[in-house]
Homo-oligomer: A and B are copies of this chain.
Amino acid sequence: MQISNDSIHALITDLGVRARAASRFMARASTAAKNAALLELARLIRAQAAELKAANAPDVQAARDAGQDGAFVDRLTLTDQHIELMAQSCEQVAQLPDPVGEMTDLRRRPSGITVGRMRVPLGVFGMIYESRPNVTIEAASLAIKSGNAVILRGGSEAIHSNRALAGLVALALVDADLPADAVQLVPTTDRAAVGALITLPQYVDVIIPRGGKGLIERISAEAKVPVIKHLDGNCHVYVDAEVDMDMAVRVTDNAKTQRYSPCNAAESLLVAASSAAAFLPRIGKVFAQKGVEMRCCAQSRAVLEQVPGAGPLLRDATPADWSAEYLAPIISIKVVDGLDEAIAHINRYGSGHTDTILTSHHPSAMRFLREVDSASVMVNASTRFADGFEFGLGAEIGISTDKFHARGPVGLEGLTSQKWMVLGNGEIRT
């Protein structure tokens, strides 16, 4: 059923008003109540597994009927394993420390007042995502724990699944004496709902989109509220002049080939000129064995041509390759003079996601850490570690490639900010 843009706007505004009211309640909710809701949600997810699969079935059928590919159908399907993982994720979030109310940096000022900071929820966030229904539970559980309200706008492909899941979230909230409006699902699949949701600064404090680069660029361009946006991950491995070659081969291999599709997989390999002759034949052999296409500068190609079996996988890199996010068994390779050129290349062509230096030279490591302008900078570790769980956040609502507010993996803390608190004893300003 198509409804008018005015109606959509009124509908989203109503969700916004209710979310704002619920956010006041959530901001002062006790940790115990929030954890009780999360544990009840885990219980309900397990208890209602059959109902969830029944709700999911028409979504899966529609996707198959529409000729969607296997990967799409897989992301959409709620198996017993997915359902158990959703329940476990709620339990894990319940176990995380509550970020709300944390008081830090208290110090006495010459005027006599004590000034400090208190961590508080952002308020209301809008979550816009595509086909994976488990994001409904991830976003709901992180909203509850961080004391925010959330408005969920999942993909139309998963609407039946999302409605069923959102229904369980509402039950869990009410069971814990928390407002059901703290987690609301946009009930319509009309695309105009997204446009309304991202242009209501009085009711929505921040938008978190998850999906393809096109979706995120569109949302960022049109939003009237801040967006925690995750664009592409063109991650670099730089092999420095002084380096343990065994370690360099092992880490580069892992960064590129452990999995090809994650945003933290390496897409570009830079090699210091003095390491090229020793390093490139060894990594070229690995890539050749694994069928990784190598898009090379002239200098690296000259070395790699000598590697048995590599020939059919070698291509000349074009300028577009230095900026490319392949998410596939392809890597761009460039020989650079050394650290200066590597840093300049990464800051020019990289996407500010994750970059690593492999080196045994301490000053190079420190300069790389300081000067590479990316959300995650690493020394002697695989780019694949850039992840909220690996970093110890306990959960991840998204990854930010921006610098404002939050950079890199965003956990509960990224859904909060700090206000100032002043403890006085009747002080006045003179």
Kindly list chain B residues whose C-beta atoms are within 8 Å of the C-beta of A385: 111, 113, 422, 424, 427, 429
Q: Which of A250, A367, A385, A418 has the most CB of B within 10 A?
A: A385
Kindly list chain B residues whose C-beta atoms are within 8 Å of the C-beta of A255: 428
**Chain B binder among A190-198, A279-287, A371-379:** A371-379
Report the Cα distance A430→B258, complex, angstroms: 8
**Cross-chain contact of A407 among B377, B403, B418, B430 (Cβ < 8 A):** B418
Report the Cα distance A369→B27, complex, angstroms: 12
A19 to chain B, nearest CB (A): 14
Query: Which residues 157-178 in A have Cβ within 8 Å of B in the complex?
Result: none
The answer, yes or no, to whether A390 is at the interface (CB within 8 Å) is yes
B378 close to A424 (CB less than 8 A): yes
**Chain B binder among A4-12, A118-126, A130-138:** A118-126
Report the Cα distance A409→B422, complex, angstroms: 13
The answer, yes or no, to whether A277 is at the interface (CB within 8 Å) is no
Query: Which residues 359-381 in A have Cβ within 8 Å of B in the complex?
Result: 367, 369-371, 373-381
Chain A interface SS verdict (over half): mixed
Report the Cα distance A86→B385, complex, angstroms: 47
The answer, yes or no, to whether A115 is at the interface (CB within 8 Å) is yes
A252 nearest in chain B by CB position = B428
Contact flags A110-153 to B (C-beta < 8 A → 1, else 0): 01010100101011000000000000000000000000000000
Kindly list chain B residues whose C-beta atoms are within 8 Å of the C-beta of A107: 392
Contact flags A82-122 to B (C-beta < 8 A → 1, else 0): 00000000000000000001000001010101010010101
A404 close to B404 (CB less than 8 A): yes
Report the Cα distance A421→B409, complex, angstroms: 12
The answer, yes or no, to whether A156 is at the interface (CB within 8 Å) is no
**Cross-chain contact of A420 among B113, B407, B425 (Cβ < 8 A):** B407
Contact flags A249-260 to B (C-beta < 8 A → 1, else 0): 011011100100
**Cross-chain contact of A377 among B221, B367, B369, B421 (Cβ < 8 A):** B421
B417 close to A28 (CB less than 8 A): no
Given known A369-B118, A373-B24, A426-B244, contact A407–B379 (CB-CB < 8 A): no
The answer, yes or no, to whether A213 is at the interface (CB within 8 Å) is no
B426 close to A384 (CB less than 8 A): no
A191 to chain B, nearest CB (A): 22
Kindly list chain B residues whose C-beta atoms are within 8 Å of the C-beta of A424: 251, 378-382, 385
A24 nearest in chain B by CB position = B347
A237 to chain B, nearest CB (A): 12
The answer, yes or no, to whether A423 is at the interface (CB within 8 Å) is yes
Kindly list chain B residues whose C-beta atoms are within 8 Å of the C-beta of A390: 109, 111, 113, 115, 429
Q: Which of A254, A379, A427 has the most CB of B within 10 A?
A: A427
Kindly list chain B residues whose C-beta atoms are within 8 Å of the C-beta of A251: 424, 426-428
Kindly list chain B residues whose C-beta atoms are within 8 Å of the C-beta of A253: 428
A395 to chain B, nearest CB (A): 15
B370 close to A28 (CB less than 8 A): yes
A59 to chain B, nearest CB (A): 32
> Can you list 30 contacts pairing A with B, beta carbon distance less than 8 Å?
A24-B347, A27-B373, A28-B370, A111-B385, A113-B378, A113-B381, A120-B370, A122-B403, A123-B373, A226-B405, A250-B426, A250-B428, A251-B426, A251-B427, A258-B430, A356-B422, A376-B420, A377-B421, A379-B423, A380-B424, A380-B425, A380-B427, A381-B424, A384-B428, A385-B427, A390-B429, A391-B420, A405-B405, A407-B417, A409-B420
Please provide the 10 A-B residue pairs with the shortest distance between their CB atoms, ordered closest to farther: A381-B424, A254-B428, A384-B429, A247-B426, A378-B422, A405-B405, A380-B424, A376-B420, A408-B420, A226-B404
Q: A residues touching B (Cβ–Cβ < 8 Å)?
A: 24, 27-28, 101, 107, 109, 111, 113, 115, 118, 120, 122-123, 205-206, 221, 224, 226, 244, 247, 250-251, 253-255, 258, 347, 356, 367, 369-371, 373-382, 384-386, 390-392, 403-409, 417-430
Other than the known A107-B392, A381-B423, A391-B420, what 5 A-B pairs have Cβ atoms closer than 8 Å? A111-B390, A113-B378, A221-B224, A384-B428, A405-B405
